[in-house]
Amino acid sequence: MTSTTPFPNTPETTAPVQLEGGTYEILRNRLSKSGGELRGLLDQLNQERKEVFGAIETKLLATERVTTEHNCVPWDMVPVGEQLLFGYNVHLGLKTEVELSDVFSVYTYENHQFHHQSLELINHTEFRDEFQKLYKYYKNTQFVKFAVQGVHLFMVFRIGKGVNDIKTFKWAIQGATLTYLDNRSDHEYTFPNQHDFAWKRVTREAHRKGKHPHISIEDKVFVETIGGDLTIKVEDNTETGQGIYAEPVEDKDQTLDDSELYYALIGNLILLKIRPYRENNYRYIVYNAKLKEARRIDAIQDCCVLLPEDQGIIYAYGYYLQTGEFKSFDNGLQDMLFEKRIASPNGEDFLYVFYNKLSGVYLLLSYNLITQKIESPIICHGYAIYENGELCYFRGDEEPKKHHALQIWQTPYIGSNYTIPVTKESFLYKIGNKEIVRAMAECTEILTLVNKEDSYDNLYLDLIKLTTDLLDSYHWLDKKETFELAQPLSAIRQTATAAVEEFEKVISIRKSTQAQVDQVLGTADALLSRLKLQSNGHINDFVKALADLRSVRGEVISLKELRYADVARIEQYETQLQSFSQDLANQTVDFLLKPDALVPYEQRVAHITAGIDQIAKVVEADATEKEISGVSAELEMLIEIVSNLKIEDATQTTRIVDANSTIYASFNKTKATLKRKRQDLLSSEGQAEFNAQIKLISQSVINFLDVCDTPQKCDEYLTKLMVQLEELEGRFSEFDAFLEIIADKREEIYSAFESKKVDLQEARNKRATTLQQAADRILKAVQSRLSKLGTVAEINGYFASDLMMEKVRTTVDELLAMGDTVKADAIRVA
């Protein structure tokens, strides 16, 4: 059986995140608390259930021996009532005829002891004759097995080299007696279906074309065996060949149509049966849709059956649950077939029996429905379970012996006629043991989900559904006699409901964090890959590499501050970068000890110094200053590296530092020269630019004064000009002479706009006064005219025909337009 681990560093396989404080984390803690309460109450209920129904624990009772007449190799045994039928094979030697006692022994089982009895149990004349003929006509006859199927017992003998070359004798089991039937029922001795499901082969309709084609399994998972490997993907994306699982194939040139692919859907599990092109064996993979996890399990080829209540699958070498729990038994067995499933009356325990036809080895796996675990597997060559649940088994030896050790265990697999004392007065008895077991098993499944990481697909929706179904199915969960299990279950449902919305926010944050982490770590990978292949033969190569490493390492360290970041993965990269930086720093020191190591910096200083005289603009001076700062930073880094390294020879450190200091001194002189040059350029360039800006502002003042026709516009344009002056003042803050000019200009502009504003206000007031006087004269004329009219009709006719009132209204509108509302209201009232 081959196993392969999924790709590292994928979202499906990253380490669990450390949650921080927040609403979502509070809900997670509350969920864990409710889960702890539920587990405590379940333990109490289980203890009470055992007292009421008399639970039987699995434990070792004794180790006894059975003695046979001859030295023999035991192969199997079977209980018949309180008796034990023991089957074995002996070396006959010179004996010409095989007797029943050469193959079988009968014992009574009482008080954990075995007492030898006569063969009266199977001493049937017809059977004895046919038994002797079998050994007479088939030279290599060998007893291999007792098989109980229903009410019949089959004695199985191998008569050839093949495991299926057999002959059987059929008996009817009637209590503590056996009745021989015939030897013609070989066809009735069969094993059950080795798979509790049917494999379904994919069709051409499931093929998805693209750059990286694959096969869709019910649109839940996607598989391909092209490109040199078998790949399983969880996204229907043919643009990429990456997936969550990959393993190499033998023929790397196969196409999508060449492989054989079968599958079976079992709840959350998808079982895949794949045979790549030109390979003899199928590969078996179990994919869990909830965990987005794929696991190679070739053991399910021989047999695979379902666990009770759809909890998962079991096979001869382990089990896999729907929730992702996986257990593998390294028992060294091969070619095991599923023989039978034995259920205990309490509905809690299930015994799965597997058998190897060639060696006669049995494998007994006891699965508990509540704990959802398998107890220690039992490997034996024969077993017997009595009515009281006592299990006897032995392990065969290759060497023939007379005395054979048997272990005796107490198990819960009691017979239908065996009763244990129960407390019928209890409320739990009225509910029934099997129903309580089923409810507790469902509670265990909920507890399993509570402890899952939230990467489990639809975790909170599953919790809501399971708790709701559980509360609706079992009415007695809120009773005191059942320890009020409904309370923690309701709390889990309520918390899971609240967590659904919060989890969406967490997913968004995690995606953003994952994207940033992948981007930075991808940059780190690319840098490390490049530097490992780079040959450093120049000091600039060392400096640039160290600077890049320092920059990337700082970005990597800052990733730790992101929420839900994979800190362990980040620290791994940080350690790798630090180690690489240290090695490169040691190489840099070795290089710096060479006499001509810093010659490139000396040349750069000389080149920069010579170029200062050719600088004609401030922009060019700034670029040169930036270049000088970069070289200074590189030298500072070199000194820091040397200072932090433990160099045994102090003279070497001194020599490197002195060489750097000499270059520093040259740089300082160059900086001073550049500063003076820049100041001169700034003065000449600044004077021209300043004069142009002042001239532009002066022209703007003239233009704005010309368009100002109201006091409000004066304020508006004055504000714009003041802002321009402030910006100009900020740009030329280094020049005191310019600041004085700006201050004078500001005062000049302010005075001009204030004078304009006063003139406009005076003109407006004068116009308003003239209009008021005209309105007064009009009103007096109206009053004089009205005094001469005697009737209302004459007055109405006067106002309808005279244009005096229209003039009054026009006057009022003009005053309002000028903003003189006081005079306008006075005229309107008059």
Q: 10 Å Cβ neighbour count for 15? A: 10
Whole-Å CA distances, 595 to 168, 604, 651, 659 = 96, 17, 14, 10
pLDDT band of residue 337 (cuts 50, 70, 90) is very high
Q: Which residue has the tokens 């490992």?
A: 532
What three-state secondary structure class fits 169? strand
C-alpha triplet 323, 328, 330: angle, nearest 5°? 175
Please classify residue 84 by burial: count the beta carbons closer than 10 Å to its beta carbon, then call 0-12 exposed, 13-18 middle and 19+ buried.
buried
Whole-Å CA distances, 89 to 86, 117, 518 = 11, 19, 66
d(CA 496, CA 491): 8
Q: Which residue has the tokens 């030295």?
A: 71
Q: 10 Å Cβ neighbour count for 431? A: 19
Whole-Å CA distances, 467 to 225, 308, 358, 422 = 41, 20, 48, 30
pLDDT of 37 strictly over 60: yes
Distance between first and last Cα of the chain: 112
CB within 8 Å of 366: residues ≥ 6 apart: 58, 349, 350, 351, 352, 374, 375, 378, 411
Domain boundaries, the chain: 23-54+422-503, 59-179, 200-381, 594-689, 708-830
What pLDDT shows up at residue 427?
A: 93
pLDDT of 536 strictly over 90: no
CB within 8 Å of 726: residues ≥ 6 apart: none
DSSP secondary structure, 257-306, as one string? TTSEEEEEEETTEEEEEEE-TT-SS-EEEEEETTTTEEEE-GGGGT-BEE
CB within 8 Å of 451: residues ≥ 6 apart: 32, 35
Average pLDDT over residues 266-289: 95
Q: Of 88, 84, 83, whose CA–CA distance to 100 is shortest?
A: 88
Whole-Å CA distances, 512 to 8, 506, 735 = 19, 10, 49
Token pair for residue 170? 């059929």
Whether the Cβ atoms of residue 366 and residue 374 lie closer than 8 Å to each other: yes
What pLDDT shows up at residue 17?
A: 38
d(CA 84, CA 121): 10
pLDDT of 318 strictly over 80: yes
What pLDDT shows up at residue 818?
A: 60
Average pLDDT over residues 513-518: 87
d(CA 745, CA 694): 8
Q: Of 564, 576, 559, 571, whose CA–CA distance to 518 is shortest?
A: 559
Average pLDDT over residues 7-34: 61
pLDDT band of residue 63 (cuts 50, 70, 90) is very high
d(CA 557, CA 698): 55
State the Cα torsion 474-475-480-484 to the nearest 10°.
50
Give the pLDDT confidence of 663-685 residue by residue, as tens digits.
Answer: 767 777 777 776 776 666 666 65
Least confident of 20-24, 70-74, 376-380: 20-24
Whether the Cβ atoms of residue 131 and residue 144 lie closer than 8 Å to each other: no
What pLDDT shows up at residue 16?
A: 38
CB within 8 Å of 827: residues ≥ 6 apart: 772, 775, 779, 808, 811, 812, 815
What pLDDT shows up at residue 13?
A: 37
What pLDDT shows up at residue 20?
A: 42
Side-chain half-sphere CA neighbours of 764 within 13 A: 19
Token pair for residue 158? 């191998």
Whole-Å CA distances, 306 to 289, 302, 341 = 18, 14, 10
d(CA 346, CA 351): 13
Whether the Cβ atoms of residue 427 and residue 479 lie closer than 8 Å to each other: yes
pLDDT band of residue 128 (cuts 50, 70, 90) is very high
pLDDT of 455 strictly over 70: yes
H helices then E strands: how many in the chain? Answer: 16, 30
What sign has the CA pseudo-torsion 656, 660, 661, 663? positive
Beta bridge partners of residue 215, listed in sequence order:
207, 223
What does the DSSP 8-state code read for residue 347? S
What does the DSSP 8-state code read for residue 16? P
pLDDT of 21 strictly over 60: no
Whole-Å CA distances, 186 to 130, 154, 170, 797 = 14, 9, 9, 134
Output the furthest CA–CA distance in the chain (Å, rounded): 169
Whole-model pTM over 0.85: no
Average pLDDT over residues 168-182: 94
pLDDT of 4 strictly over 50: no
Average pLDDT over residues 483-502: 91
DSSP secondary structure, 177-222, as one string? EEEEEES--GGG--PPPSBSS--EE--GGGEE-SSS-EEEETTTEE
Give the pLDDT confidence of 741-798 residue by residue, as tens digits.
Answer: 888 888 888 888 888 888 888 887 887 788 777 777 777 776 776 666 666 666 666 5
What pLDDT shows up at residue 15?
A: 37
What three-state secondary structure class fits 398? coil
Q: Of 446, 451, 324, 453, whose CA–CA distance to 18 is shortest?
A: 453
pLDDT of 805 strictly over 80: no
pLDDT of 732 strictly over 80: no
Give the number of residues written for the chain. 830
**Residue 484 Ramachandran class (φ > 0 left, ψ -120 to 50 alpha, else beta):** left
DSSP secondary structure, 45-102, as one string? HHHHHHHHHT----EEEEEEEEEEEEEEEEEEEEEETTEEEEEEE---TT--S--GGG
